[in-house]
Chain A
Amino acid sequence: MSAAAPVSERTRVWRRFQRHRLALIGAAMIAGFIGLGACAPLLPIADPYSVDALNTLQPPFSPRHVLGTDEVGRDLLSRVIWGARISLIVSASAAVLALAAGVVLGLLAGYLAARADTLIMRTIDVVMAFPYILLALAIVSALGPGLVNAMLAIALVGIPPYARLSRATVLGLREQEFVDAARVAGATDGRVLRRHVLPNVLAPTIVMFSLDIGAKMIATSGLSFLGLGTQPPVADWGNMLASGRSYIAVAPHLATFPGLAMFLTVIGFNLLGDGLRDALDPRLR
């Protein structure tokens, strides 16, 4: 009998993830949408901005337009595929910004002196005291409507959960022996944070991140739906829903397909996030 080779933690996490069927389905769904969005310029589909006044509001399965056309005759399939591009980029960027800022603030609050901690965490408390969408709306109202401003607003109101989570993790790590050892060995605060604390903070924040992209997608699209995010004629799911709303009685497919795409993407991220959480920390099940 040969002794089993020692298995690293990373391999174990990967194996647990591979056994998680729902997570794999989620990952496949997301990969599908990312693939479609990334390959949009290469696919044999119509130009998402090409207007055709003679073929407006065509129903799904019409000749040359599988999903039909919108109110100015643009191909809906093409717009949904191109919309994946913008919607994914905007929501992922908002989540990345929130993650980066949140982790930095959390690290600083958890590791630095008490005064910085109090200042950062009290500010976070105040931001959390607002209903999420409401504060984003207020920020967009000040900055002015637009894609970048909407993304910034959603990122800004998304910082607190990341900051709280990473601070809590750092507080636990600060007392650990390997951190003391690094400090005794002469590592500077910056080096200890970068090399020893940050890698341990990333695992829980990545789980939060994967669950968060879906929420960010709903939030940024929501702002676009209200007319405060991406502006027409840009092919973005939230934007398309907003214009589809006016035609809900005569051409329901205009609102159905972009929303369905968004719904499936968000489900994908939620399944993936649940799977990552279970794989990284089986005790949390």
Chain B
Amino acid sequence: MLVPVLFGITVVVFLIIHITPGDPAAIMLAGSPATDADVAQLRHQLGLDQPLHVQFATWVWRALHGDLGRSLALRSPVLPEVILKIKATAVLALGALLLSVFLGILAGVVSSTKQYSLLDYLVMLLSLAGVSLPVFWLGLMLVMVFSVTLGWLPASGMHAPAGGGTGDLLKHLALPAVTLGAASIGVVARFTRSSMLEVLRQDYVRTAQAKGLSTGTINFRHALKNALIPVLTVIGVQAGYLLGGAVLTETVFAWPGLGSLILKGILARDYPLVQGAVLFVACTFVLVNLVVDVLYAYLDPRIHYQ
């Protein structure tokens, strides 16, 4: 499955430049004092003057060798630029993922063990709000409260201008990570709750109760362990979502990651940059999902992949 999907991804990313209405080379140079000869030269440089299949084969061959082309706006190769920015995006996505795993599971367990209590309703309400919040608005509101009004946390960037250590990074990370993670926290909480509710009705949980085990031991050692298996799939999906959803969050907080880079590429009509970065993220996304599938089989011995 992996190879056909990766192949499909390359086809889609390759075609991006070809569904452009008009001549991509002319569009890319629009607004600059470029002559017809310049356009023709760029067309040649991008290989657009060759038959489609030759272009595709060349592009894939180069991508496999780590050459994602040259960015026109940055005047440098795409891959090093992408690798430079992926670190910032990874920090942001990881921060949001940790938040969503920790807070989401905690909220789900608490609300499932106290079903129909006030706390349960509160958790459900918050998780509904989480999945209904537009990330870019949540980000702006958090900036308004915590940066503008209270002055507790920085509103943008990844590091203080003078540089700083881990503490400084965490301070800059707090708002973007909460913003990006909010929806995932809600999703993980909902799934954990329903999965826990199912497990808590099982016979072995009643056996554990009958043996006189404490509620904490039953909930966390016996029930949660099994309830987490379906939750893991959701977390995997969320990991990919965070990678893609980072684009909006990065824009709000001027976070110097891949999302900002892709947006810059789009606004500058820098097709090689957009293609390279999108290809990179999509492949990462597929690999993340693969890791989750493998983990899934590892944690649940009933599942086998052929």
B71 to A: closest C-beta gap in Å: 14
- Across-interface contacts of A226 in B (CB, < 8 A): 247-248, 251, 263
Q: Is the CB of B134 within 8 A of A131?
A: no
Q: Contact: A129 with B148, CB < 8 Å?
A: no
Which residues of B pack against A, CB within 8 Å? 1, 4-5, 8-9, 11-13, 16-17, 19-21, 128-129, 131-137, 140-141, 143-144, 148, 240-241, 243-245, 247-248, 251-252, 262-263, 265-267, 269, 271, 274-275, 278, 281-282, 285-286
Q: How far is the CA of A122 from the CA of B3 in the complex (A)?
A: 12
Chain A 113-141 near chain B by CB (<8 Å), digits 1 or 0: 00000000011011101111111011111
A78 within 8 Å of B by Cβ?
Answer: no
The SS class assigned to the B binding surface is helix
Q: Which residues of chain B are within 8 angstroms of A271 by Cβ–Cβ distance?
A: 128
CA of A241 to CA of B137, assembled, Å: 7
Question: B137: which of A125, A137, A142, A255 is its contact (CB, 8 Å)?
Answer: A255
Distance in angstroms between the alpha carbons of A267 and B128 in the assembled complex: 7
Q: Which residues of A contact B (CB under 8 A)?
A: 122-123, 125-127, 129-135, 137-144, 214, 218, 221-222, 225-228, 238, 241, 244-245, 248-249, 252, 255-256, 259-260, 262-263, 266-267, 270-271
Please report the C-alpha to C-alpha distance between residue A276 and residue B137 in the assembled complex, in whole angstroms.
Answer: 28
- Asked if B140 and A244 make an inter-chain contact with CB atoms under 8 angstroms apart, the answer reads yes
Nearest CB of chain B from residue A139's CB, rounded to whole Å? 7
Looking at A125, A133, A270, the one whose CB has the most chain B CB atoms below 10 A away is A133
A283, B37: Cα distance in complex, Å: 67
Are the CB atoms of A259 and B251 closer together than 8 Å?
A: no
Among B19, B134, B135, B263: residue with most chain A CB under 10 A:
B134
Given A131-B243, A138-B274: A256 in contact with B141 (beta carbons within 8 A):
yes
Instruction: Determine how close the nearest CB of chain A comes to the CB of B263; give it in whole angstroms.
Output: 6
Contacting residues, chain B, for A249 (C-beta < 8 A): 148
Q: Nearest Cβ distance between residue B266 and chain A, in whole angstroms?
A: 4
A143 touches B132 (CB 8 A): no
**What distance in Å separates the Cβ of B27 from its nearest Cβ neighbour in chain A?**
8
Contacts of B275 in A (CB 8 A): 138
Q: Are B262 and A134 in contact (CB under 8 A)?
A: yes
